[in-house]
């Protein structure tokens, strides 16, 4: 991290976290952030559910909720990005304050509650996206919807023509009873509706499912079975956690989903379990606590075809992205892997 970026982060950390989040997006759009462009090598080139990625390091949903900084994000070094979550109708989300830095734990707690501008406004921005950058949309449901399961299909039908993949997010802990949709029967019905909508798109896109890290072995097995039988294209493991074990920061008891460094081990174990349950039949995207090239590599060796990150940038800045991408390339080369795909799952047993 260079001096200007270090000073910029210090300034942002003097602000309320949500205000800093909004300001960082403005700075990114204004070009006041490292923008190295596409970073790739023959080793890093990755195929994910039919998508061609220059590298397997992506931006997780939640940073650019309203798709306002896509053009700049395409130049940050990420191999792909996911925006949203988008819901059919605009909604303000939960009352503020709802975002907390746990600096002592290198973690973040949020209870945003799917605050976003709604699918129509987001769709208009997606329609103006730059070409050549793999972009996905996280699908959500309105808090007061009479049929939350149908909301996912509605957003996909509206925005699907303008994205490269879509993610069904039933794992946010910040919308009451949303995680109930991860149950076997409810999830199968929801995914059936989403996949039917996907089939009606002029250009069907891969559909992923984002799951929670707080599922027991039986629930994970059920999700794997539903995912395999539904025609789903992949699973993102994992969303934020409700677990507060081993935290030290004074804000540890704030309600909401915890992300960042403390989530790494838990989410990676879930990832490895899913890799074993699906036996390579579905690509997995590893997210949760990635803050270094070594951690990205560990996710890949645990079974991920690609990884995503977000919270680590709060503490290490946007220059973290090219550092992870280039470091991952070096680690693959060091261990004699010619491609990312060659490394996927080779260290899975370490996490089981």
| Domain containing residue 291: CATH number | 3.20.20.70
In this structure, is residue 208 part of a structural domain? no
Residue whose structure tokens are 């990676």 = 268
Show Cβ contacts of residue 30 under 8 Å, excluding neighbours closer than 6 positions.
Answer: none
Average pLDDT for the chain: 96
Angle at 150 between CA 148 and CA 155, to 5 degrees: 100
Catalytic residue among 171, 172, 292, 319: 172
Is 172 one of the catalytic residues? yes
Domain assignment of residue 191, yes or no: no
Q: What is the mean pLDDT of residues 261-290?
A: 97
pLDDT in tens, 11-66: 999 999 999 999 999 999 998 888 999 999 999 999 999 999 999 999 999 999 99
**Count of domains observed in the chain:** 1
Distance in angstroms (rounded) separating the CA atoms of residues 79 and 49 = 14
Q: What is the pLDDT of residue 5?
A: 85
C-beta neighbour count of 188 within 10 angstroms: 15
Q: Is residue 293 part of a domain?
A: yes
Residue 297 forms part of a structural domain? yes
Q: Quick: pLDDT tens for 181-218.
A: 888 888 999 999 999 999 999 999 999 999 999 999 99
Task: Give the residue numbers spanning the domain of 263.
Answer: 3-134+233-351
Contact assessment for residue 236 and residue 308, using Cβ atoms and an 8 Å cutoff: yes
Q: What is the DSSP pairing of strand 57-59 with strand 306-309? A: parallel
Please spell the DSSP secondary structure of 300-338, one letter per residue: HHHT-SEEEE-THHHHH-TTHHHHHHHHHHHHHHHTT-S
Cis, bond preceding 228 (omega within 30 deg of 0): no
Q: Name the token pair of 68.
A: 């306002």
Contacts of 131 (CB under 8 A, 6+ apart): none
What's the rounded mean pLDDT across residues 227-246? 96
Confirm whether 323 is domain-assigned: yes
Amino acid 34: pLDDT: 82
Give the model's confidence band at 96: pLDDT under 50 very low, under 70 low, under 90 confident, else very high: very high
User: What are residue 237's DSSP bridge partners?
Assistant: 211, 286
Partner residues linked to 108 by β-bridges: 101, 259
With bands split at pLDDT 50, 70 and 90, how would you rate the model's confidence at 287?
A: very high
Q: Is the dihedral of CA 235, 219, 281, 206 positive or negative?
A: negative
| Mean pLDDT confidence for 268-296 | 97
């Amino acid at each position: 991290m260079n001096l200007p970026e270090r000073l910029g982060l210090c300034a942002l950390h003097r602000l309320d976290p949500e205000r800093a989040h909004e300001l960082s997006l403005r700075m990114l759009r204004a070009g006041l952030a490292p923008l190295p462009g596409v970073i790739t090598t023959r080793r890093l080139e990755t195929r994910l559910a039919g998508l061609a990625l220059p590298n397997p390091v992506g931006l997780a949903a939640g940073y650019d909720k309203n798709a306002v900084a896509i053009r700049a994000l395409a130049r940050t070094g990420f191999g792909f990005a996911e925006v949203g979550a988008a819901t059919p109708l605009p909604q303000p989300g939960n009352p503020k304050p709802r975002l907390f830095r746990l600096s002592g734990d290198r973690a973040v707690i949020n209870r945003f509650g799917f605050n976003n501008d709604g699918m129509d406004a987001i769709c208009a921005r997606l329609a103006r996206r730059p070409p050549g950058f793999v972009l996905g949309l996280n699908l959500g449901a309105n808090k007061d919807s009479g049929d939350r399961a149908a909301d996912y299909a509605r957003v996909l039908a509206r925005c699907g023509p303008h994205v490269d993949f879509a993610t069904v997010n039933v794992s946010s802990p910040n919308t009451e009873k949303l995680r109930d949709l991860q149950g076997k029967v409810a999830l199968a019905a929801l995914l059936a509706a989403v996949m039917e909508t996907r089939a009606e798109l002029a250009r069907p896109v891969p559909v992923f499912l984002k799951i929670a890290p707080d599922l027991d072995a039986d629930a994970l097995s059920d999700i794997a079975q539903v995912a395999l039988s539904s025609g789903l294209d992949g699973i993102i493991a994992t969303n934020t956690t409700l677990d507060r074990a081993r935290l030290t920061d004074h804000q540890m008891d704030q309600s909401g989903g915890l992300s960042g460094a403390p989530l790494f081990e838990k989410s990676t174990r879930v990832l490895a379990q899913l890799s074993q349950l699906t036996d390579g039949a579905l690509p997995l995207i590893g997210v949760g606590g990635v803050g270094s090239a070594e951690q990205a590599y560990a996710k890949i060796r645990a079974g991920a075809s690609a990884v995503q990150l977000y919270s680590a940038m709060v503490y290490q800045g946007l220059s973290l992205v090219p550092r992870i991408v280039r470091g991952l390339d070096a680690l693959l080369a060091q261990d004699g892997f010619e491609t990312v795909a060659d490394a996927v799952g080779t260290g899975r047993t370490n996490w089981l």
